[in-house]
Amino acid sequence: MLIKSIDQAKTVNPDKNSNPAQSLGEFYDYIDWASKALPWTILPNVGTEYPALYDQIDQSLFKIA
């Protein structure tokens, strides 16, 4: 089902900028990258400055731990 979904998504949106996973291998590469990416490396035009929302999320996680 995953391969069918990837193939269908590639047909609907072949643009690698907005649909980077156009094969099973590219899907695994994307998931590997996304699992390690920091929010400010994903969001466009944020650079090293990141919204206070991430500080709040971090603080809420520290309260739980």
- Tens of pLDDT, residue by residue over 5-48, are 999 999 999 998 888 889 999 999 988 887 776 666 655 555 55
| pLDDT at residue 65 greater than cutoff 50 | no
Dump pLDDT digits (tens) for 54-64.
555 555 555 44
pLDDT at 12: 94
Q: Which domain holds residue 56?
A: 2-64
Number of domains in the chain: 1
pTM above 0.85, yes or no: no
Encoded amino acid at 41, one letter: T
Nearest Cα residue to 29 out of 48, 11, 16? 16
Ramachandran area for residue 45 (φ above 0: left; ψ -120 to 50: alpha; else beta): left
Q: Which residue has the tokens 């994307």?
A: 30
